[in-house]
Structure 1
């Protein structure tokens, strides 16, 4: 028995698929296979592919915005220490303030970035499901 690596559905020319589908009523998808569910059929249509590309673009845009915002906040910490005189030399509970700022101040920013990303990504996917008509 040979191993087969499955990466994605094979694309078939629409004219060949329509001519050689082998099923009555034209309910088969490209490649001659019947649709497994409405989502798969919607994703393989032209409009469905537009919706999928739109979802991918919105998720990529979200990832770039959250990452850029996080990096800006991270870069603001050393800038703040360099701009405000005496801040780097001050201590908080016996620890240098710059260590406290980077050690304890960055974790809430990481958590907030992750929460924002997950919440917005879930909303993007819910909108996509609404476009497909899934419940």
Structure 2
């Protein structure tokens, strides 16, 4: 006595119905959608690498300036040398600036991707 295998799926929706971004086995794959998604991933990776390289460059320049300009130790604000203040608080605006630039760039990439996807559909 053998039993027949039965495939159980979630929901009794019609075949090929759109899902909420979940790739289901056996679902039709739209080649244009896949190409647009690959382009979005590439542009987001390019943005991330460019932002990281820019951040590292600016950080190294700031560290180099603090190291190579000893006169910053002679300037004292509120009893603390300027070089110490720049070490303590000078990097936060740089971090915030690059974070803002990255988020704006990522949002711009996604808006362009949605426009391309909607145009192609």
Residue 70 of structure 1 aligns with which residue? 55
Q: Quote how far apart the aligned CAs of 1:90 are.
A: 3.4
- Which contiguous aligned blocks of 4+ residues in structure 1 show a shift greater than 4 angstroms? none
Whether contact under 8 Å (2:72, 2:81) holds in the other structure is no
Aligned length: 102
5 Å-filtered alignment, 1:59-98, equals 59-98=44-83
Distance 1:89 1:65 in 2: 36
Could you tell me the TM-score, scaled by structure 1's length?
0.64
Could you tell me the TM-score, scaled by structure 2's length?
0.71
- Deviation string 1:64-98 (CA, Å, 9 cap, x unpaired) is 11111111111112211233242244322211222
Whether contact under 8 Å (1:82, 1:88) holds in the other structure is no
Residue 122 of structure 1 aligns with which residue? 107
Residue 106 of structure 1 aligns with which residue? 91
Gaps of 5+ in 2: 1-13, 23-27
Gaps of 5+ in 1: 1-27
2:21 is the counterpart of 1:36? no
Whether contact under 8 Å (1:74, 1:106) holds in the other structure is yes
2:37 is the counterpart of 1:52? yes
Higher relative contact order (CA 8 A, sep 6+): 2
Q: Secondary structure of 1:123's match?
A: helix
